[in-house]
């Protein structure tokens, strides 16, 4: 066996090891106890696979490869280290877009090679998968960039025009037709260029009309798409690690997307093809919102035995998670039972609230999922809603004309007393009124989340001090 054959064997063995580490890593990441080990394990797999690749590239363009890796790694590593926890969703979108772009670039390079004069005609499956992978990767790249820009506040939330769906469909159909022409008719460089332009444009067009509330599902979908693109280009390049890792992520990502869409009671087709958040709809609500001062709210908390805190996107915007945890610690110290109730789609991504609370130091066993906590609202003295709106709106259960009818909600309505911390009287993402805010046992504490929590902590101290 000569050296080169040996090196290829070594690389193939490393890819096998990497595939095993990726699957075990993802498995471990789906349990809170082992999650931290999981990412480290997957990381080791990545390093092993990358180093092993140098064994089969044979030194050709070596310094370009090293430079490319350095240019890719250093800025993203530093940026990822210092970005605020509240900005994590858009970072995931951005890094996902880069992966899609990389897969599309592999497809572009291979297609270009096939079109050169004198090149061997590739097998049909190879050519077809190169085209499909490039299509999906391109859509995922530009789509993710738009999702990033929207979540990062760099772009107006929604962008719609008359006949938009028709235009989108036409662009997509054109991309598919040109792709099919490349596969079945003519391997032509000009066609390849047109194909990529159409695919990249479709990613942008598809994401423009989607509102912020649906972004989690969209990012998850693009994550799954990038996985698939990687798997297909992996087949073209004949690298097993790409096929396995890409397919596993494609399948896991698709499943995760379904879980999220289900939690929002919105079929994926609705997220992608209907415009949500137009407002209006729903019944008129009688009564008025009743305000409360921080001192009175603190008294209610002082008298309560069981308190459930319901955070939403407003808490993330106000960066109030640390103050809220401080408030909870004060309540726990006073002997009260405190829990956090998390709606599956609270915030901009499923689990977004958990990440923020974890950042503030809240142990995960104080944090409860919707199914577990819902029966407990009946026995809860005070529920504090901070920056959440649509996910606690009882109209989802009672009002058939409401746009959010059928979405599972947190049953905050059942609590004996509800305190809603909110900046003003505005509506949530869905743009609809919330009957919870008008209930007899609901009091509105109009303030920025962070400021409200600070005032509650101070008032609680004052009550405690005065009692002794």
The residues annotated with a catalytic role in the active site are 390
Q: Output 68 or 153, the one with its CB closest to other proteins.
A: 68
| CB 345 to other proteins: min, Å | 9
Q: Answer yes or no whether residue 351 interacts with other proteins by CB under 8 A.
A: yes
Residue 375 DSSP one-character state: G
Q: Answer yes or no whether residue 89 interacts with other proteins by CB under 8 A.
A: yes
Among 10, 13, 71, 177, binds other proteins (CB under 8 A): 71
Other CB atoms within a 10 A radius of the CB of residue 14 amount to 21
Q: Answer yes or no whether residue 142 interacts with other proteins by CB under 8 A.
A: no
Pair of tokens at residue 91: 């970072």
Segment 179-183 long-range contacts (CB within 8 Å, at least 24 positions apart): 179/131, 179/132, 179/135, 182/111, 182/127, 182/131, 183/124, 183/127, 183/128, 183/131
Among 128, 130, 187, 243, binds other proteins (CB under 8 A): 243
Q: How far is CA 43 from CA 25, 48, 49, 238, 243, in A?
A: 9, 9, 10, 22, 18
Sole residue written with tokens 């407002």: 279
Q: What is the C-alpha separation between 24 and 248, in angstroms, rounded?
A: 11
Residues 279-318 that bind other proteins (CB under 8 A): none
What does 237-295 look like in DSSP terms, one character per residue?
Answer: HT-HHHHHHHHHHHHHHHHHHHHHHHHTT--HHHHHHS-------S----S-PPB--HH
Q: Answer yes or no whether residue 73 interacts with other proteins by CB under 8 A.
A: yes
Q: Output 198 or 231, the one with its CB closest to other proteins.
A: 231
Check: CB of residue 436 under 8 Å from CB of residue 392: yes
Q: What is the C-alpha separation between 131 and 9, in angstroms, rounded?
A: 29
| CB 441 to other proteins: min, Å | 28
Q: What is the C-alpha separation between 95 and 31, in angstroms, rounded?
A: 23
Residues 40-69 that bind other proteins (CB under 8 A): 40, 42-43, 46, 49-50, 53-54, 56-58, 60-62, 64-65, 68-69
Q: Answer yes or no whether residue 363 interacts with other proteins by CB under 8 A.
A: yes
Q: Answer yes or no whether residue 191 interacts with other proteins by CB under 8 A.
A: no
Among 143, 179, 211, 250, binds other proteins (CB under 8 A): 250
| CB 217 to other proteins: min, Å | 11
Binding mask 215-234 for other proteins (x = CB under 8 A): ----xx--x--xx--xx-xx
Q: Answer yes or no whether residue 112 interacts with other proteins by CB under 8 A.
A: yes
Q: Output 46 or 285, the one with its CB closest to other proteins.
A: 46
| CB 243 to other proteins: min, Å | 6
Q: Answer yes or no whether residue 406 interacts with other proteins by CB under 8 A.
A: no
Count of residues in contact with other proteins, rule CB under 8 A: 118
Strand order of the β-sheet with 382-386 is 367-369, 337-342, 306-311, 382-386, 417-422, 442-446
């Amino acid at each position: 066996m000569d050296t080169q054959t040996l090196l290829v064997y070594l690389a193939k063995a490393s890819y096998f090891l990497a595939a095993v580490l990726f699957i075990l890593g993802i498995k471990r990441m789906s349990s809170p106890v082992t999650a931290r080990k999981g990412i480290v394990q997957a990381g080791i797999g990545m390093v092993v696979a990358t180093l092993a690749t140098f064994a089969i590239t044979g030194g050709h363009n070596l310094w370009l490869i090293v430079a490319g890796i350095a240019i890719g790694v250093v800025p993203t590593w530093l940026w990822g280290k210092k970005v605020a926890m509240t900005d994590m969703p858009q970072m995931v979108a951005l890094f996902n877009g880069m992966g899609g772009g990389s897969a599309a670039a592999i497809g572009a390079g291979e297609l270009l090679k096939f079109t050169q004069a004198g090149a061997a005609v590739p097998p049909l499956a190879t050519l077809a998968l190169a085209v499909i992978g490039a299509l999906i990767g391109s859509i995922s790249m530009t789509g993710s960039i738009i999702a990033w820009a929207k979540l990062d506040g760099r772009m107006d939330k929604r962008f719609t025009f008359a006949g938009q769906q028709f235009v989108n469909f036409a662009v997509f159909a054109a991309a598919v037709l040109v792709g099919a022409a490349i596969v079945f008719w003519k391997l032509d460089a000009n066609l390849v260029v047109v194909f990529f332009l159409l695919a990249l444009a479709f990613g942008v067009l598809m994401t423009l009309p989607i509102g912020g509330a649906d972004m989690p599902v969209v990012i998850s979908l693009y994550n799954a798409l990038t996985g698939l693109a990687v798997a297909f280009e992996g087949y073209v390049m004949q690298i097993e690690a790409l096929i396995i890792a890409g397919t596993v992520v494609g399948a896991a990502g698709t499943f995760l997307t379904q879980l999220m869409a289900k939690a929002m009671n919105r079929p994926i087709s609705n997220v992608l093809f209907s415009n949500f958040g137009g407002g209006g709809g729903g019944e008129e609500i009688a009564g008025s919102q009743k305000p409360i001062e921080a001192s009175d709210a603190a008294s209610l908390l002082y008298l309560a035995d069981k308190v459930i805190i319901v955070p939403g996107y407003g808490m993330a915007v106000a960066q109030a998670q640390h103050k809220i945890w401080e408030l909870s610690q004060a309540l726990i110290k006073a002997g009260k039972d405190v829990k956090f109730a998390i709606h599956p789609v609270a915030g901009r991504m499923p689990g977004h609230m958990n990440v923020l609370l974890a950042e503030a130091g809240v142990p995960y066993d104080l944090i409860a999922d919707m199914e577990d906590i819902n029966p407990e609202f009946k026995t809860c003295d005070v529920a504090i809603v901070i920056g959440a709106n649509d996910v606690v709106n009882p109209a989802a259960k009672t009002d058939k004309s409401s746009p959010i009818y059928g979405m599972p909600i947190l049953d905050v309505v059942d609590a004996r007393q509800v305190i809603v911390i909110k900046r003003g009287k505005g509506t949530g993402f869905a743009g609809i009124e919330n009957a919870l805010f008008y209930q007899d046992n609901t009091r509105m504490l109009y303030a920025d989340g962070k400021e409200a929590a600070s005032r509650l902590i101070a008032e609680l101290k004052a009550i405690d001090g005065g009692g002794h």
